[in-house]
Structure 1
Amino acid sequence: MDMTPFLPAFIAAYAILLVGASSPGPAVAMLLGISLEQGRSAAIIASTGIAIGSATLNVLTLIGVGLILSQIAWAMMVLKLIGAGYLLYLAYGAAKKAINPPAVKVAEVTPESWPRLFLKGYLLQVTNPKAIVFWLAIAAIGATAGGGLPVIALFVAGGFVISFTCHAAWSFFLSAGHFRRLYARARRGIEATLGLFFTFAAFKLATSRT
């Protein structure tokens, strides 16, 4: 199977996913609390649940977008504009945090079994409206357009790896106090960079021809 025609769209979609999964949010707060209260192993189990939830949303949005585009010719442009608008919203939020960075607060947790930790991570992801819209924005790139089941399976697998790696990294690094202090000092620069990236991604998505 020749993946060369799909590489540019794959890279664009994965770049957005990498930045989004690396950005602090409800999942990071939950993982930080779990890693501090129950250890890194527990946080990694929850990270697996988050990654599986992310893959679930990925599949559902790919199926939904495919059905819409098969019925409505102009739907791709509408979807691209919606996706670009959401990326601009993320850029605006990152800019606000760069100007006035909020504190990273630890979510309170109680000791739980590994199945419950997995389920907690999974449900957090699949019920998050922002995560759903985020995946719609990625689907608008059309990374798997024209490809068969192997291309879709490869795209979903890559998305799972990125999501799991990013959230597991948060679990490892933010469980150590000196990493949290380092992140706090660099927060403004990180958020400013995120704002610029999301603005650029929104422009590229809105003006792309595919």
Structure 2
Amino acid sequence: MPNPLPSLLAGVVFGLALAAPPGPMNAVIAEESVNNGWVAGARTGLGAMTADAVFLVCSLLGVVAFVERFPTVRAAMVGVGGVLMLYFAYGAAADATGGVDAVPTDGAATRATTGFRKAFVLALTNPYQILFWLTIGVGLLEPGRLDVFAYTPYVGGDLTGLLVVRTGSPALIVGFFLGITVWITGFPAALRAAQRRVDAFAPVVAGASALVLAGFGVVFLVDAVRTLA
């Protein structure tokens, strides 16, 4: 019987490599973490990971392929995602400037739940996540080989061939989600630790999150308009 440990560890590395690079999901996690605490940040990351689980199931059922086959449906999803990102960017900017909080302040549980919903909805309308599960993600359960670092954002080309694993093992999927879990719990913890040392840390993170979300929001809207045109 094959040893599942190598596949499990490779999955952890893969999940970390995909979850760690800067992007809209990490911007939302960061903003929630510094303004509402570790629980809110971790729950926000859980929202994004839950969307990945939904995409996994939808990929196996052919739903993601359906979305990609009809550009109008895809453009509508991307457009909604762009609008939401701009809206959340406004909320993050308000936090950075000391304006009215975009998140209700009626308890830590409510704030954590709000972050979960934000990340979940954004992830469901993120074309990059859809494309990942349409191409690479669904292939994780099919027999074959996967060059793990080749798909790492920004630096994948430089790491090609460094870690190649066999796919088709459930341990790879389990490890993948374990890697994401490590990130969505460790990243908020690191932010909170830094915040305790730097008084002005929260406004800086909120401002950076607003810029990232606004930038991706504009990109998504332009993508949607071009597709519909």
TM-score, structure 1 normalization? 0.51
CA distance in 2, matches of 1:154, 1:61: 18
Residues 107-161 of structure 1: per-residue CA shift (max 9 Å, x gap): 6542461332222221122221111112334236x33225xxxx77655443332
Q: Counterpart of 1:143 in 2: which secondary structure? A: helix
Q: Which residue of 2 aligns with 1:173?
A: 190
Q: Which residue of 2 aligns with 1:125?
A: 123
Percent identity of equivalent pairs: 27
The RMSD of aligned alpha carbons is 3.7
In the TM superposition, residue 61 of structure 1 has moved relative to its aligned partner by 2.1
Q: Which residue of 1 aligns with 2:34?
A: 36
Q: Which residue of 2 aligns with 1:143?
A: 140
Instruction: Assess if the C-alpha contact under 8 Å between 1:21 and 1:163 holds in 2.
Output: yes
Instruction: Assess if the C-alpha contact under 8 Å between 1:16 and 1:138 holds in 2.
Output: no
Q: Which residue of 2 aligns with 1:50?
A: 48
Could you tell me which runs of 5 or more consecutive residues in structure 1 were left unpaired when the two chains were aligned.
69-105, 181-210
CA distance in 1, matches of 2:59, 2:114: 26
Residues 42-99 of structure 1: per-residue CA shift (max 9 Å, x gap): 111112111111111122223339x99xxxxxxxxxxxxxxxxxxxxxxxxxxxxxxx
Distance 1:32 1:143, change over 3 A: closer
TM-score, structure 2 normalization? 0.47
CA distance in 1, matches of 2:186, 2:132: 21
Code of the aligned partner of 1:21? A
Residues 147-181 of structure 1: per-residue CA shift (max 9 Å, x gap): xxxx776554433322222122221112324698x
Could you tell me which runs of 5 or more consecutive residues in structure 2 were left unpaired when the two chains were aligned.
67-91, 96-101, 144-167, 202-229
Q: Which residue of 1 aligns with 2:61?
A: 63
Q: Counterpart of 1:174 in 2: which secondary structure? A: helix
In the TM superposition, residue 33 of structure 1 has moved relative to its aligned partner by 0.9
Distance 1:32 1:43, change over 3 A: same
Distance 1:156 1:111, change over 3 A: farther
Instruction: Assess if the C-alpha contact under 8 Å between 1:35 and 1:43 holds in 2.
Output: yes
Instruction: Assess if the C-alpha contact under 8 Å between 1:9 and 1:143 holds in 2.
Output: no
Q: Counterpart of 2:103 in 1: which secondary structure? A: coil
Q: How many residues align?
A: 137
Q: Which residue of 1 aligns with 2:157?
A: none
Residues 16-64 of structure 1: per-residue CA shift (max 9 Å, x gap): 4321111111111111111111111111111211111111112222333
Task: Spell out the pairing of 1:159-170 with structure 2 (5 A cutoff).
Answer: 159-170=176-187
